[in-house]
Structure 1
C-alpha cells in the first residue's frame, strides 16, 4: 500500500475510534445524523487533502471538527490499538460511520470520474418538413450569431456542448448532454425565449432525435438527403461553416469562441467528410440542384400561368447579391433570360457579381430603387438578409397595384421572409416562398430514389465508425486512472529506492527516472492499445471489468 493510502486509512481509523468512544461513553443512543454543511465541506475537499469521517455529536460537528481530524502518523498508530480494544464493546450502530466513509469515498470517486464523462449527441430543431416558413423565421439566427447562441445554451448545467445550424430550410440545435431529458427542457426554454412562442405553438413544429438517430440525421443533412432539393450542395458548405464556428477559438475571426467539445467536434467533422464522400462516390449531386435552381424551375412553371409569358420573355429583377442570387443568375441564364435588374445595399458587391456574368445584360442598382424596379418588373426574386418583410400588402396598395391590377410574380427564397404572404390578397400579384418549392422538387426526388439508397448505404458505414469511436470514450476515465495508478506506484517505489542510493549524481538520478518511466510505458502499452481498440466482435471487456481487474476503485 502506498504511503498516501496508508495515511488515509489511518486517519479513517482515528475518526472511527472517536465515534466508537462516544457511543461507548454516552447514555444516549447514537445518532448518525450530522450537519449537512459539515458533510458538504468534507465532500468538497480535494482528493489530495485528508479525508475524514465525522462521527461525533451532531451539535459538535463543525469545521473545527474536520480540521482536528488531521493528525500525524504517530497519533494514528497509537489509536490503532484502541480500535481493537473497543471493537468488541461497540454496538451495531457504530458501523454507520464506516459505511458513511465508504459511501463518501465512492461518491468522491464517482464525482472525479464524472468530470471526464462525455455527453451523448442530441438534436432539437425544425425544418421544411415539420414547420412552415412563418415559424422557421422566428427562430432563424444569422451565421455571425451562431456561436453566441451556442454559448447561451451551454450556460445551462445540463448542456455540455452546443452548435447551431440555421438555414432557410432548417433550424437545428446540436447538443451533447448526459441527461437528455434535462437538456431538452433547457433547450425548449431557450427556443421559447428566442421565438416568443408558447409551448402550444412551438412543440408541434419541433423534432428531437437522440444518440444514434441524431448522428445519422446530421449525416443525411450534410449529404443533402434531408434537403428540400435532394442532393443540393449548399447545405454541405453550411454544415462546414457550422463545424468551423463550433470549434473556433477566441483567437480566430469569431468574436465568441465555439462551444463544441470532443463529441460535437468529432460529429460535425464526420458529417462534413461524409457529405463530401457521398457526393464523390454517387451521382446524388449530379446536375443543378439547389434552392435557387428550384426557384427558377418554379418560375418556369408559373410564368405561363400567372403572366401568360415564358420565363425568357419576362422582365426579371433580383433583390440581393449574395450566394443565392449568384445561383439565380446562373440558372436564369441557362433558361434563356438575357436581361436582369440586380439591386443590393452596396453597389460594389452587386457590380462584382454582375461582372461574373458578361453574357447577361445586368443593370445594377441600390435598394432605394426598390419600388421603381418592382413596378417595371414582372418577375421579382428576393434573397436578402433583411430580418423583416420589405414587400408587404400595404406597400403594394400604396402604389400602382392599389389603382389598377398589374401582373407581378414574387418568388421569395429568404428566411426570414422578405415578402409577406398577404401580398396574394392584391389583385394581379402572386407571392411564393420556399415552402411553395415543394411542388417543384417532388419530381426531383422521384428521379433520385436510387441514388438516395446508394448514399444511405455509405452513410450507414460512416455512422458505424462514429458510434465505435463514441463507444471507446467510456474507457477514457479508466485509461487516465490506470496511468495515474502506475505512475503513483512508480514514484513511491523509486522514492524508497533513492533513499538507499544517496550516492547517485543528478544525471544518474535523471537516468533512473527516465528508465522507470520507460518501463511503465512498456507495461502499459498493451492495456492502453486494448482499451482504445474498437469492439468489433462484442468480446471487449466492460469498463467495470477493467476497473475490477486493475483495482482502480481501491
Structure 2
C-alpha cells in the first residue's frame, strides 16, 4: 500500500552554482547505481513522493561523461562483434526481483523505489547495454524489475548488478535515524531474488495483478498498483511497446479474475475476518466515522490495523505497553492517523471508542463485566459498543456478552467464517488460472505479432528502395517525357511493388485475423525472409542505433 514519504535522489552530476535546480523531481534527479560507492552528493532540495517502503532515498552520483563513453564503447563492440549472435534469438522478457515470499522486509525496503522516481529508474535500466525496455513495480510487498533484454543472460546480469550497487541513504528529518544504509549486497540479492523469463514472467505478472501472489489471496490493492505502473510509464522513453503491452494484458487479466470469480470477497484470516465483521455490524452510515480502538500491537494487532487501513479507516487509537511498534506502524501507514496510548489509559480510551479490537497475550481478561457496565453509552445510531476479541486466552470476559450495551465476538466466532471463505477463495483461484491461461495465450499471440514488425518494415523499405532505383534508371534512359507518362511509369512501379509485397506480408502478419497460419509458422516465415533478404543485421543495427541515441540524450 502506498504511503507518503519525503526523499531525494542526487543527480548524476552536481549542477553548477549558477544553474538553479529544477523544481520537478523528474528533472532534478537521476536514478543510477554507483560501482565505486562514491560519497553522496548533498544539496538542500526536497520533494514529496509516494512510496511503499516509507524510506527517503538519495543515490550516489557517478561521472556522466565517463558512463556515457563506456556505454557507447560497449555498444560499438556489440555492433561490430555481436550481431550474428544476437540475431539468432529474439528479445526476451524477464522479471528480476524480490517479494514477500522470497525476501524479508529488511531486504526489500532497501531496494524500494519511490513512485516519483520510476521514470528515472526506467531510464537508467534502459541505459544498460542489453536492455531495450523496462518497468518498475515497487510496493510494500515486492520490488520487481521487468525488462525486455536484447540478450537474456547478459541483460539479467546487468540488471542484477544495477540492483546490487545502488547506494541508498536514509535522510528523513522526521525520522529519529540519520544514517547511511548500504545497498543490498550481491550475495544477499542472489540469495533472495527470483528470476522468470518470457511466458513464466508474463504469467507471474498476470497472477500478481489478479491477487494470486499476494499475502491475502485476492487482495485488490495490487491491481491498482499495476495500473499505476502503466500510467506512469506512458510517454517514458524505455517503457516500450512490449512492456506496455505486458502490463496492459496483465490489467485485463486482473479485471477478469475479479469480476468473473469474485476472488476478493470473503476473509481468509482471523484478523481480516474481524475487520470485515466490524464493517458488517456497524450501520453503513456511521462506519466512516466510527471511533476505533485496537488494544495490542503484536502480530495480530498489526494485521488488524493494516486491514482497517485497507478498508478506509483513517483514525485509529492503539493501546500498547510500549510505543515502538506503534511508531513503526505509523511510519508504514502514513495515510492513517494512528494515536498511541499507554496501557494504563486503556479504560479511558475504551470510553471514547465505538469498536474495540483486543489482541494481547494477557492471561486474564482486560475487560470485566463491571468495567464495561461503567462505560458511557455509544451514539444512538451505532447502538451497542462492539467488542471483537481475537485473543487466546480471551481478553473480554464472557459475562460481557450478557450486557445490553455490548456486543461481543471472539476468535471461535470467526474461525468458521475464515475456513469457509478460504476454501471458497482457493476454488476461485483455480478458476482464475483458467482465465490467466486464456489471457496469456492472447498476450503471446500479440507479442509474437510484434516480432514480425521490424521484418515487415525492412522488407517494404528494401523492395521500395530497389523499385525507386530502377525507376530512376528507367526515367533517365527515356529522355524528355511528359508528366503524364512519368506518372504512368511511377504507378506501374508502385503497382509491381505492392503486388510483390502482398504475399509475403500476408504470411508475416499475425493480428488475430490471420487464421491460415499458426504463430510458429509465421515466425518461421519471418526468419526465412530475414535470411533471404539479409535483413537481420539491419534490424539489430537499428536497435543499436536506438540505444546509442538514448545514451546520448
Q: Which TM-score band applies after superposition, normalised by the shorter structure?
A: 0.5 to 0.7
Unaligned runs of 5+ in 1: 1-40, 45-106, 250-256, 301-311, 318-323, 333-339, 344-369, 410-422, 433-438
Note the C-alpha offset of 1:199.
2.7
Counterpart check, 1:230 vs 2:227: no
Counterpart-to-counterpart distance in 1, 2:476 and 2:508: 36
Counterpart-to-counterpart distance in 2, 1:487 and 1:212: 36
Counterpart-to-counterpart distance in 2, 1:154 and 1:291: 44
Query: Which structure shows the higher helix fraction?
Result: 1
Select which of 476, 485, 488 maps to 2:465.
Answer: 488
Counterpart-to-counterpart distance in 2, 1:503 and 1:288: 85
Aligned positions of 1:284-295 closer than 5 A: 284-287=263-266, 293=272
Aligned length: 367
Partner of 1:274: 253
Partner of 1:283: 262
Counterpart-to-counterpart distance in 2, 1:269 and 1:498: 50
For the 8 Å contact 2:268–2:419, the answer to whether it is kept is: no
Note the C-alpha offset of 1:116.
13
Note the C-alpha offset of 1:452.
1.0
For the 8 Å contact 1:229–1:291, the answer to whether it is kept is: no
Note the C-alpha offset of 1:224.
1.2
| Secondary structure of the corresponding residue to residue 195 of structure 2 | strand
Partner of 1:545: 528
| Secondary structure of the corresponding residue to residue 160 of structure 1 | strand
For the 8 Å contact 1:325–1:383, the answer to whether it is kept is: no
Counterpart check, 1:260 vs 2:239: yes
Partner of 1:93: none
Note the C-alpha offset of 1:124.
1.1
| Secondary structure of the corresponding residue to residue 520 of structure 1 | helix
Closer/same/farther in 2, CA of residues 373 and 513 from structure 1, 3 Å limit: farther
C-alpha distance after superposition, 1:435-454 (max 9, x if no partner): xxxx9988754331211111
- TM-score, normalised to structure 2, is 0.53
Larger Rg: 1
Note the C-alpha offset of 1:121.
0.8
Closer/same/farther in 2, CA of residues 514 and 268 from structure 1, 3 Å limit: farther
Partner of 1:455: 432
C-alpha distance after superposition, 1:435-491 (max 9, x if no partner): xxxx99887543312111111112112212222333344434432332122112211
Partner of 2:189: 202
Closer/same/farther in 2, CA of residues 263 and 229 from structure 1, 3 Å limit: same
Counterpart-to-counterpart distance in 2, 1:500 and 1:517: 19
Counterpart-to-counterpart distance in 1, 2:80 and 2:425: 56
Counterpart check, 1:468 vs 2:445: yes
- TM-score, normalised to structure 1, is 0.53
Partner of 2:199: 212
For the 8 Å contact 1:165–1:239, the answer to whether it is kept is: yes
Counterpart-to-counterpart distance in 2, 1:116 and 1:480: 19
For the 8 Å contact 1:292–1:328, the answer to whether it is kept is: no
Q: How well do the aligned residues superpose, as a CA RMSD in angstroms? A: 5.3
C-alpha distance after superposition, 1:60-96 (max 9, x if no partner): xxxxxxxxxxxxxxxxxxxxxxxxxxxxxxxxxxxxx
Partner of 2:476: 499
Counterpart-to-counterpart distance in 2, 1:545 and 1:183: 27
For the 8 Å contact 1:274–1:462, the answer to whether it is kept is: yes
C-alpha distance after superposition, 1:36-60 (max 9, x if no partner): xxxxx9x98xxxxxxxxxxxxxxxx
Unaligned runs of 5+ in 2: 1-72, 169-181, 280-289, 296-303, 350-359, 367-390, 392-414, 538-553
Counterpart-to-counterpart distance in 1, 2:478 and 2:265: 74
Partner of 1:183: 155
| Secondary structure of the corresponding residue to residue 131 of structure 2 | coil
Counterpart-to-counterpart distance in 2, 1:273 and 1:265: 12
Partner of 1:161: 133
C-alpha distance after superposition, 1:390-434 (max 9, x if no partner): 99xxx99xx957xx797999xxxxxxxxxxxxx99xxx9xxx9xx
Partner of 1:11: none
Note the C-alpha offset of 1:187.
2.1
Select which of 315, 324, 345 maps to 2:293.
Answer: 315
Closer/same/farther in 2, CA of residues 210 and 229 from structure 1, 3 Å limit: same
Closer/same/farther in 2, CA of residues 116 and 242 from structure 1, 3 Å limit: farther
For the 8 Å contact 1:374–1:380, the answer to whether it is kept is: no
| Secondary structure of the corresponding residue to residue 452 of structure 2 | helix
For the 8 Å contact 1:379–1:408, the answer to whether it is kept is: no
Note the C-alpha offset of 1:232.
1.9
